[in-house]
């Protein structure tokens, strides 16, 4: 529990499939990329479930992330139109606008809480315009309380939920408030004549009215908020942290951003030309996958890698541990964006041992969008700003359902268009 990431990384020395006991947890951890891939593809037998998803369901209900296999194909078909490639240009325009809104508040020499500002951008691209800032801020806090608290709750007995500790009360209040906000968002969407260009409007408009029940729509909206805001925001926050330690890469990235984007908006064609930026984003996601650890539950007696696995077994997989294995990525702790030079297509994120978006039929539905948004954000920020650490303890990852840079405060320095920081 003291250093979960180091623990996860060590496990592959014991084998491809390792039995782990933590408190009441009894789980098998898959440590090899090949076996993880095999497990993810067999999503009927290795279904969503296990300690972690039992707790995720308490908030996300039967939404796309947590629903069991029997509901999955139907749900995925219903949400897919919101992620159709034809919608990407509109999303890119809207993302550029939201990035501009948040960056317009930045001042030279000021110190910013990077994660909060990045989350403000990613939440704005999901949410309809006109949501009062106070409601939005409350949502960020509530979402963070849930994402940070869910892993802990997964390893403590459920009966402890009823103990009125401050943490339990905070968690419950966050769940209730988020449900109420989501109900308001859905009602507001229905009362509107025209479709907005944000992702939630896209999602809600794409539903055939008979396709999902009222509860499913609420679960879906909450799921998308939880799955799509902090993940991308953390990628960009980590990227800015890593770039501060690699000024040479930052300079190349700035030159590219100035050349490709200039002052205009980014198109889908521009995305392919932001090659250095995409490599930086992918390498950041390799080192700090936003979702470091997930579980499955076997629905029948089966086997994995030749080992028998009884029905009802919790199996865990870890994008973090696999992506830090030297067998797949030489010098795995080094930040080397160049290793992604072959992955030039922004519409095809890497697969194989790159597990940051999961795999199989339950692979992230927002993979292209999340990658595009992170690329846009990093290039727009670096084009105009250099962010440097403020004095203080080294930035460390906070591990929960998401991998967050703890207390990432950075000072802003305006960059000049020639590519050098002022």
Residues placed in the known binding site for heme: 364
Binding-site positions read 364
Angstrom CA distances, 258 to 99, 270, 277, 344, stand at: 16, 12, 12, 19
Number of residue whose CB is nearest ligand HEM? 366
Three-point CA angle 102, 108, 112, nearest 5°: 55
Ranges within 245-304 binding ligand HEM (CB under 6 A): 290-291, 294
Which candidate, 92, 98, 144, 103, places its Cα nearest to that of 124? Answer: 98
Query: Per CB under 6 A, which region of 248-256, 301-309, 362-370, 409-417 contacts ligand HEM?
Result: 362-370
Q: Answer whether 22's CB lies under 8 Å from 155's CB.
A: yes
Count Cα atoms within 13 angstroms, Cβ side, for 27.
25
Dihedral in degrees, nearest 10, Cα atoms 125, 131, 57, 165: 130
- Report which DSSP code applies to 358: -
Count Cα atoms within 13 angstroms, Cβ side, for 379.
30
For ligand HEM (CB under 6 A), the number of binding residues is 24
Q: Which of 32, 231, 237, 298 binds ligand HEM (CB under 6 A)?
A: 231
Q: Is residue 403 close enough to count as binding ligand HEM by CB under 6 A? A: no
Q: Is residue 64 close enough to count as binding ligand HEM by CB under 6 A? A: yes
Rounded to whole angstroms, the Cα distance separating 363 from 176 reads 28
Q: Is residue 223 close enough to count as binding ligand HEM by CB under 6 A? A: yes
Q: Answer whether 274's CB lies under 8 Å from 20's CB.
A: no
Q: Is residue 235 close enough to count as binding ligand HEM by CB under 6 A? A: yes
Give the contact letters, 107-146, x = binds to ligand HEM (CB under 6 A), - = no. ----------------------------------------
User: In terms of CB distance, is 149 or 366 closer to ligand HEM?
Assistant: 366
Q: Is residue 238 close enough to count as binding ligand HEM by CB under 6 A? A: no
Query: Per CB under 6 A, which region of 6-14, 144-152, 250-258, 361-369 contacts ligand HEM?
Result: 361-369
Q: Is residue 65 close enough to count as binding ligand HEM by CB under 6 A? A: yes
User: In terms of CB distance, is 370 or 419 closer to ligand HEM?
Assistant: 370
Three-point CA angle 195, 201, 207, nearest 5°: 100
Specify the pairing of strand 409-414 against strand 385-389.
Answer: antiparallel
Q: Is residue 365 close enough to count as binding ligand HEM by CB under 6 A? A: yes
Q: Which residues of the chain form contacts with ligand HEM (CB under 6 A)?
A: 64-65, 76, 199, 223-224, 227-228, 231-232, 235, 290-291, 294, 356-358, 362, 364-366, 369-370, 374
């Amino acid at each position: 529990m003291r250093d979960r990431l180091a623990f996860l990384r060590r496990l592959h020395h014991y084998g491809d499939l390792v039995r782990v006991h933590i408190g009441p947890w009894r789980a098998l951890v898959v440590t090899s990329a090949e076996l993880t891939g095999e497990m993810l593809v067999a999503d009927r037998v290795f279904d969503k479930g296990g300690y972690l998803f039992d707790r995720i369901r308490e908030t996300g209900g039967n939404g796309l992330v947590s629903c069991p296999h029997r509901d999955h194909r139907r749900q995925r078909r219903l949400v897919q139109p919101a992620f159709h490639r034809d919608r990407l240009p509109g999303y890119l325009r809207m993302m550029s606008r939201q990035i501009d809104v948040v960056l317009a508040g930045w001042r030279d020499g000021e110190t910013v809480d990077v994660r909060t500002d990045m989350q403000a951008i990613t939440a704005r691209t999901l949410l309809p315009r006109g949501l009062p800032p106070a409601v939005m801020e409350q949502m960020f806090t509530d979402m963070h309380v849930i994402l940070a608290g869910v892993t802990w709750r997964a390893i403590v007995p459920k009966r402890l939920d009823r103990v009125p500790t401050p943490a339990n009360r905070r968690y419950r209040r966050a769940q209730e408030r988020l449900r109420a906000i989501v109900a308001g968002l859905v009602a507001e969407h229905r009362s509107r004549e025209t479709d907005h260009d944000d992702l939630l409007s896209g999602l809600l408009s794409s539903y055939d009215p008979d396709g999902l029940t009222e509860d499913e729509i609420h679960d879906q909206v909450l799921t998308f908020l939880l799955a799509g805001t902090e993940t991308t925001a953390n990628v960009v926050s980590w990227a800015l942290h890593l770039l501060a330690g690699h000024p040479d890469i930052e300079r190349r990235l700035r030159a590219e951003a100035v050349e490709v984007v200039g002052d205009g908006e980014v198109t889908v064609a521009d995305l392919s030309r932001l090659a250095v930026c995409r490599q930086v984003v992918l390498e950041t996601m390799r080192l700090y996958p936003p979702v470091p650890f997930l579980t499955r539950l076997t629905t029948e007696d089966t086997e994995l890698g030749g080992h028998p696995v009884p029905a009802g077994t919790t199996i865990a997989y870890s994008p973090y541990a696999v992506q830090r294995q030297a067998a797949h990525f030489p010098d795995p702790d080094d930040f080397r964006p160049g290793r992604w030079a072959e992955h030039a297509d922004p519409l095809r994120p890497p697969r194989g041992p790159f597990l940051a978006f999961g795999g199989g039929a339950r692979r992230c539905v927002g993979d292209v969008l999340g990658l595009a948004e992170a690329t846009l954000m990093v290039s727009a920020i670096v084009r105009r700003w250099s962010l440097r650490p403020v004095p203080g303890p080294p930035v460390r990852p906070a591990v929960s359902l998401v991998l967050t840079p703890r207390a990432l405060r950075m000072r802003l320095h305006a960059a000049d268009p020639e590519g050098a920081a002022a």
